[in-house]
Amino acid sequence: MTKGGMESVEVFTSEGKGRGLKAQKEFLPGDVIFAEPAYAAVVFDSLTHVVCHTCFKRQERLHRCGQCKFAYYCDRTCQRAAWLNHKNECSAIKRHGKAPTENIRLAARIMWKMEREGSGLSEGCLVSIDDLQNHVENFGEEEKKDLRVDVESFLEFWPPQSQQFGMQYISHIFGVINCNAFTLSDQRGLQAVGVGIFPNLCQANHDCWPNCTVIFNNGNHEAVRSMFHTQMRIELRALSKISPGDELTVSYVDFLNVSEERRRQLKKQYYFDCTCEHCKKQIKDDLMLAVKEGDNKPSAETVKEVIQFSKDTLEKINKARLEGVYHEVVKLCRDCLKKQEPVLGDTNLYLLRILSIASEVLSYLQMFEEAADYAKRMVDGYMKIYHPNNAQLGMAVMRAGVTHWHAGLIEAGHGMICKAYAILLITHGPSHPITKDLEVMRVQTEMELRMFKQNEFMYYKMREAALKNQKIQVMPEPSNETAPSLFHKKE
Q: What distance in Å separates the CA atoms of residue 254 and residue 485, rounded to the nearest whole number?
A: 7
- What are φ and ψ of residue 341, in 5° steps? -55, -40
CATH architecture of the domain with residue range 285-447? Alpha Horseshoe (1.25)
State the average pLDDT over residues 13-33: 89
DSSP state of 201: G
Q: How far is CA 458 from CA 231, 397, 414, 464, in A?
A: 47, 28, 19, 10
Q: How far is CA 63 from the centre of its chain?
A: 27
Q: What distance in Å separates the CA atoms of residue 58 and residue 224, rounded to the nearest whole number?
A: 21
Nearest residue to 52 via CA among 93, 20, 82: 82
Beta bridge partners of 194: 43, 184
Residues of each domain in the chain carrying CATH 2.170.270.10: 9-258
Q: What distance in Å separates the CA atoms of residue 108 and residue 94, rounded to the nearest whole number?
A: 15
Q: Are 419 and 384 in contact (CB under 8 A)?
A: no
Q: What distance in Å separates the CA atoms of residue 100 and residue 89, rounded to the nearest whole number?
A: 10
Between 471 and 108, residue with greater pLDDT: 108
Element of type H or E holding 317: helix 300-322
The percent of residues in the chain predicted with pLDDT above 90, rounded, is 67
Q: How far is CA 460 from CA 172, 453, 455, 466, in A?
A: 63, 11, 9, 10
Q: What distance in Å separates the CA atoms of residue 35 and residue 38, rounded to the nearest whole number?
A: 10
State the average pLDDT over residues 473-485: 55
Residue 364 contacts by C-beta under 8 Å, 6 or more apart in sequence?
A: 326, 474, 475, 476, 477, 478
In the prediction, which pLDDT does 463 show? 75
In the prediction, which pLDDT does 3 show? 39
Between 453 and 87, residue with greater pLDDT: 87
If DSSP codes are grouped into helix, strand and coil, which group holds residue 249? strand
In the prediction, which pLDDT does 265 show? 93
Between 339 and 229, residue with greater pLDDT: 339
Q: How confident is the model at residue 49 (pLDDT cuts 50, 70, 90)?
A: very high
pLDDT at 427 over 90: yes
Q: Are 427 and 391 in contact (CB under 8 A)?
A: yes
The percent of residues in the chain predicted with pLDDT above 70, rounded, is 90
Q: How far is CA 5 from CA 33, 87, 244, 247, 335, in A?
A: 10, 28, 17, 18, 54
pLDDT at 119 over 80: no
If DSSP codes are grouped into helix, strand and coil, which group holds residue 208? coil
Q: Are 270 and 226 in contact (CB under 8 A)?
A: no
Range scoring the smallest mean pLDDT among 228-242, 254-268, 465-479: 465-479
- What are φ and ψ of residue 134, in 5° steps? -115, -20
For every residue of 25-38, DSSP letters joined together read: S-B-TT-EEEEE--
Range scoring the smallest mean pLDDT among 57-61, 380-384, 458-462: 458-462
In the prediction, which pLDDT does 468 show? 66
In the prediction, which pLDDT does 225 show? 46
Range scoring the smallest mean pLDDT among 19-28, 215-224, 291-300, 375-384: 215-224
In the prediction, which pLDDT does 227 show? 47
In the prediction, which pLDDT does 469 show? 62
Residue 6 contacts by C-beta under 8 Å, 6 or more apart in sequence?
A: 34, 124, 126, 200
Which of the listed CATH numbers 3.40.50.300, 3.90.1200.10, 2.170.270.10, 2.40.10.10 matches domain 9-258?
Answer: 2.170.270.10
Per DSSP bridges, beta strands 205-206 and 247-250 are parallel
Q: What distance in Å separates the CA atoms of residue 121 and residue 141, rounded to the nearest whole number?
A: 33
Report the chain's mean pLDDT, rounded to a whole number: 88
User: Which amino acid does the sequence have at 197?
Assistant: I
Q: Are 374 and 403 in contact (CB under 8 A)?
A: no
Residue 464 contacts by C-beta under 8 Å, 6 or more apart in sequence?
A: none
Nearest residue to 152 via CA among 102, 89, 104, 93: 104
Element of type H or E holding 360: helix 349-364
* Nearest-10 crossing angle of helices 433-454, 410-427: 150
State the average pLDDT over residues 295-300: 88
Q: How far is CA 113 from the centre of its chain?
A: 26
Between 482 and 477, residue with greater pLDDT: 477
Q: What distance in Å separates the CA atoms of residue 107 and residue 104, rounded to the nearest whole number?
A: 5
pLDDT at 486 over 70: no
Nearest residue to 443 via CA among 399, 471, 405: 405
In the prediction, which pLDDT does 480 show? 54
**Model pLDDT for residues 240-267, shown as the tens digit of each residue:** 999 999 999 999 999 999 999 999 999 9
For every residue of 163-220, DSSP letters joined together read: PP--HHHHHHHHHHHHHH-EEEE-TTSSSEEEEEE-TTGGGSEE-SS-SEEEEEE--B
| Confidence (pTM) | 0.87
Q: How confident is the model at residue 481 (pLDDT cuts 50, 70, 90)?
A: low
**Model pLDDT for residues 151-175, shown as the tens digit of each residue:** 999 999 999 998 898 999 999 999 9
Residues of each domain in the chain carrying CATH 1.25.40.10: 285-447
pLDDT at 490 over 80: no
Per DSSP bridges, beta strands 192-197 and 32-36 are unpaired
**Model pLDDT for residues 330-378, shown as the tens digit of each residue:** 999 999 999 999 999 999 999 999 999 999 999 999 999 999 999 999 9
Q: Are 54 and 42 in contact (CB under 8 A)?
A: no
